[in-house]
Amino acid sequence: MFLGCLCVDETRRVTRSKPAPGACGACNGGCSKVRVRRVHRVCFIPVWCSWNREVICTRCRAHLHEY
């Protein structure tokens, strides 16, 4: 029988940001296009890294679109 515990972690860091057209539907704040780097770790060892582009609100930080 195998009893083990894995420590799984995800860190998210914004690397680039620039203004985007439009407004947030929740707070009417401005939008920003950001590039996000996500690093997934298992037992503190980086296993997988991914880059995503998102549109977020600059006022309430709501995720409006991800592509």
Give the pLDDT confidence of 31-65 residue by residue, as tens digits: 999 999 999 998 888 888 999 999 999 999 888 88
Q: Is pLDDT at 67 greater than 80 in this prediction?
A: no
CA dihedral 50, 53, 55, 56 (to 10 degrees): 30
Q: Is pLDDT at 7 greater than 70 in this prediction?
A: yes
